[in-house]
A and B are shown apart, each in its own frame.
Chain A
Amino acid sequence: MRTSQYKAWGLLAPTLVILFFIGLVPFLYVIYLSLFKYNIWSVRGMVFAGVDNFRKLMFDSSFMHSLGIGLTFVVITCLIETLLGLAIAIFLTNEFVGKGVFRTILTLPLAIAPITIGSIWVLMTNPDIGPLPYILHKFGIDYNIGVNAKQAFFTVVFMDIWHWTPFVTLTLLAGLTSFPKEPFEAAKVDGANKWQTLRYITLPLLTPVILTMLFIRVMDTFRIFDEVWMLTGGGPGTATRFVSIDVVRRVLVSTDYGYGSSMSVFLLYLTIVMCWLLLNIISIARREVHEG
């Protein structure tokens, strides 16, 4: 038994060494940096500041704003994607010729680089050449995401829905097709209609899959960067400046390393808490499905 432990750790060692250097070391380093006032243009260099950065962060209205719109974005997109994805997944439980082709088409957005997604939507929404402003103009709507904050925000929402609803659909479909047949046959015998079967059998069985999917979607939309950076750059104004964009701007544009680090640390803290919370909820839900 002892030797097998050595063997296992021996096999794991190279992976752990690499993940230690690229995962843990930068993590500790950013915590260290967050305790200093540090701007490369400042003549004073690094000045120890304790938790001052964090105190400032808690009263930083622009950071809180980005956190706020970030969470709004998470709620809106995840809600719409779940409902839409669920509807399409249930629709896809029908058998028909050409379903494979349709599924392949749905998979396509998932494999495209996020930056390319951004560029695709730049081409769609550009006021000079894009078809969206052209069509909307015919309906009397002036559509310009470079100027109108609300339009920019909802375009980003729409882009995310376009990009990730296929993921929700295919995940839930995988769940739907893996169910045992017995409960459904029993429901049929009992004379349950389609709606009742969905409400009382399908959805409860699907809950663990929905939660797993939501976990991944929530974490991914919370840290979204590439697409939004490409499409709006966080603007106009601060309309689409989600947390990741705020951090990148703080670090790269204002070169405020100390303060940017404290933002990063806070973001990582949120990530860990959210991961822990959601994973616990998922394991509880799984247990309930298995027992009940």
Chain B
Amino acid sequence: MRGKKKIKITFIYLICILLAGATLFPIYWMVIVSMRSKLELFTGPKLYQTSIFVNNYYRPLFKDIYGKFLINSLIIATGNTGLVIFLAIFATYAFSRFKIWGSESLFFWTITNRMAPPAAFILPFFLIFTKIKLIDTHIGLILLYCIFNLPFAIWLLKGMIDAIPKELDEVASIDGCSMLGTLWHIILPVAKPGLAVTAMMTWIFSWNEYLFASVLTSMNARTITTGLAEFVTVIGTNWGEMAAVSVVCLLPAVIFLGYIQRYIITGLTFGAVKE
């Protein structure tokens, strides 16, 4: 019996290492490439690296335009998150505490908004943004990203606000709290952890977006993902620098991972599946 258990444990860890290796290897490879100079890269694939070629990071971020792209991405992601969370708090409270006529169709509408292929929307947005002079501005993208982040934030927050007992609201209103007062003094403090997670995921989705940013910006509000996509050119690609910018793109995901991992499935399935 003991031997059998040992075999089972060994088997489990073997599978784990295999799967973790398969998941991590491509990312590991990218990090390794980002640390190599051109010369090192073309001497054949080696699996380890002992030195760092800092210029891969330094040149694009400080000598080239990528530092600016990085700041643009930060501004847009943060601005969008602020706007989305602000709007979502009110909307979620309405969905959670009131019976609203037609909330079923609202649900369907927000779901299709989220599922719609962005490719189908680039043309109307491009023409409208050109007309109202929002093209290549930060505010344009901040507003635009609400199209997928707002439904997302509402459905993620809804589960969390639903979990707060209604009695709390009633007690507050008996004590003479107005509706907004209740929201501010009762709901928000309780929902703070949920809000933080929602904000982080919203931020990451804005940060990660590529297609709209590539069509609707040219120079002033270009984001880092768009810059990354332009690395591959016909005259030859600096692989080391491309890998370095990819690593920079990846960093926020790694930083937030610990906080969001418990909610990421709930978030990605609109709260239909809870962990």
Binding site for B on A (CB under 8 A): 4-5, 7-9, 11-12, 14-15, 18-19, 21-23, 25-27, 29-30, 33, 88, 91, 94, 96, 98, 102-116, 118-124, 126, 128-131, 134, 162, 166-167, 170-171, 174-175, 178, 209, 212-213, 216, 219, 222-223, 225-226, 229-230, 243-245, 247-248, 251-252, 257, 260-261, 263-265, 267-268, 271-272, 275-276, 279
Contacts and interface: CB of A to CB of B under 8 A. Distances in A.
A212 B273 contact: yes
B6 to A, nearest CB: 13
Given A26-B125, A29-B124, A279-B108, A98 B16 contact: yes
Contacts of B48: none
B62 to A, nearest CB: 21
Interface in B198-223: 204, 207-211, 215
B54 interface: no
B122 A15 contact: no
B120 A268 contact: yes
A276 B115 CA distance: 11
Contacts of B209: 113
Contacts of A219: 115
Given A12-B90, A119-B30, A225 B242 contact: no
Contact of B272 (A14, A29, A98, A212): A212
A116 B215 contact: no
Contacts of B90: 11-12, 14-15
B123 interface: yes
Interface string B121-157: 1111111100000000000000110110011001000
B229 A275 contact: no
A260 B100 CA distance: 37
A15 B88 CA distance: 7
B53 interface: no
Nearest to B13: A96
Given A167-B265, A251-B123, A25 B91 contact: no
Given A4-B98, A113-B249, 10 more contacts: A15-B91, A33-B127, A123-B33, A123-B239, A212-B269, A245-B119, A251-B123, A252-B122, A265-B120, A276-B108
